[in-house]
Chain A
């Protein structure tokens, strides 16, 4: 188990970060090239002022019609995504690892706060899970891929929380957590989670069409 732990925090972590960063960069560049090649008569209308204005509305809770009409999802998804970024980046446990391996360090969230936020993410995943099962319009469109990405995110956070609370075998749980986290990172450029990479562009593009061609808001 120790060997696996060492593998996970060492080479596999490198690999995961490399795949995540290089994979994301590759996906973005390949998509840009594809857009220029095949969507020239659409790319031509991209307008950053319109894109940014629209994005400002869409990253504001209840700042767009879709958010206002889906209040439950709005509250949960904002909480989920904010915590999703805050926890891994500002978790004492994570920073400690970076410090140990690279000597990098930055301010951390107090442990109890990080813990609470992590539990929020797990709860949000449960909410998403419930929606996929119980809300007919979500159930109708749910496929295996959606269960998998949700499970991946959920598992990463759940195992993290369990490890932190020393529930179960700690070494096992931490190792599992790390493996899940790495799998999730790698999954970002190559699965539905790529919405993190492309979401801003797809919104920005349609906002440009609405702003510069159609003179109408898209929020």
Chain B
């Protein structure tokens, strides 16, 4: 949020880039457009005729060129990162400056909430781990995946393979070869599988789904497994206020919610996942199937009374206890759900909901028949575009930043909430 303080929120339409194809150098293609959070810059991967690859920011190609470039992403503080290869070695390039260290491969860039920490999984000499701001973990592993960075960036975790059985040694696998490593240090405990490790907001505690045998699923927190044993379990989350760990668990063919190794929501859902706490930890919501094929949102074990074939993107408000989600009829007829109510419009596609900082408004990018627009509180911006990136609210929540492409031009639009009338 803090970054938005410095963004230009003067209402109006500004064409930032006259031509999305414009480029300071001759090119073969310009692709993978990504827009900076403040909407001031468009970055694209540019293939130059040399042949070489580079990055064009608002049409200006970086000086440096590379053999390969991919994964352009802006950090929350507005720095542009790409993954690039030179002489067969890969590294992270931040605003045109490569990290010193190079790797056999690098992928999947992660950012801390304030953007000061940039991390990415790496492979070096067949060993796996993370590099955090250019410094790789001291210990790398035979495999590391499902990496996660704490909100503040102070800690990174991954599921790591700590033993290397021979190929197809199923017995060794079933004795356990996986653990979770935090900042490169693996837990002492070893499991058959670990999935979806997650941090508490301070990055002090890690919880993960585990499988102790092929049939015994549970949750482990900081390496210590729950006693509860389940037929299946999805990824856990921390309560941001109390530190309690909640995870959907399956028993007797149905799902319920376990919190801190005890059943909290009874086993009665056909599906239960994507659980999230409200920021003050007072409410727990999840996406659930109340009967076969009927999905909804459940807040504190009480389902909303509307069901849809598919529900996704459950998003808690940054303050207060509001929840938004998307629903669809098997990927068409998208609807926006907010606090148990459904907005009137139906769309061919909808993008993740965005709350205003005060939780008073909700914005969603939608697409219908190939035209994009942004909705606020169910009402559309009067114009439609060829493409819209995620909207953002001004710090006071009164204005919305729309970043859109139309007719080959990239527009930066700031509109007061009242301008959404459609």
Contacts and interface: CB of A to CB of B under 8 A. Distances in A.
Is chain B in direct contact with chain A in the complex (CB below 8 A)? Answer: yes
Interface of A: 38, 40-41, 44
Nearest to B270: A40
Interface in B258-304: 270, 291-293
Nearest to B253: A38
Q: Which of B270, B291, B292 has the most CB atoms of chain A within a 10 A radius of its CB?
A: B292
Contacts of A41: 292
A184 B270 CA distance: 42
B309 to A, nearest CB: 11
Contacts of B253: 38
A60 to B, nearest CB: 34
7 contacts: A38-B253, A40-B270, A40-B291, A40-B292, A41-B292, A44-B292, A44-B293
A46 to B, nearest CB: 12
A40 B292 CA distance: 7
Interface of A is mostly: helix
A215 to B, nearest CB: 16
A202 to B, nearest CB: 20
Contacts of A38: 253
Nearest to B293: A44
Interface string B207-218: 000000000000
Contacts of A40: 270, 291-292
B154 to A, nearest CB: 44
Interface in B52-72: none
Contacts of B270: 40
A213 B253 CA distance: 23
Nearest to B291: A40
Nearest to A39: B292
A185 B291 CA distance: 39
A165 B253 CA distance: 59
Complex A-B, nearest 4 residue pairs according to Cβ-Cβ distance, in ascending order: A40-B292, A41-B292, A44-B292, A44-B293
A47 to B, nearest CB: 14
Interface string B237-273: 0000000000000000100000000000000001000
A60 B122 CA distance: 65
B268 to A, nearest CB: 13
Nearest to A37: B253
A41 B270 CA distance: 10
A44 B291 CA distance: 11
A44 B270 CA distance: 14
Contacts of A44: 292-293
A38 B270 CA distance: 12
Interface string B289-330: 001110000000000000000000000000000000000000
Contacts of B291: 40
A40 B293 CA distance: 10
Nearest to A42: B292
A187 to B, nearest CB: 33
Nearest to A43: B292
A200 B208 CA distance: 48
Nearest to B292: A40
A41 B291 CA distance: 9
A186 to B, nearest CB: 35
A40 B271 CA distance: 13
B315 to A, nearest CB: 28
A44 B294 CA distance: 11
A41 B253 CA distance: 12
A40 B291 CA distance: 9
Contacts of B292: 40-41, 44
Contacts of B293: 44
A35 B291 CA distance: 14
Nearest to A44: B292
B252 to A, nearest CB: 11
B38 to A, nearest CB: 47
A113 to B, nearest CB: 51
A168 to B, nearest CB: 57
A145 to B, nearest CB: 31
A201 B293 CA distance: 22
A28 B274 CA distance: 39
A136 to B, nearest CB: 38
A40 B290 CA distance: 12
Interface string B395-407: 0000000000000
B362 to A, nearest CB: 33
A189 to B, nearest CB: 28
A196 B293 CA distance: 32
A44 B309 CA distance: 13
B294 to A, nearest CB: 10
B132 to A, nearest CB: 44
A82 to B, nearest CB: 39
A28 B121 CA distance: 58
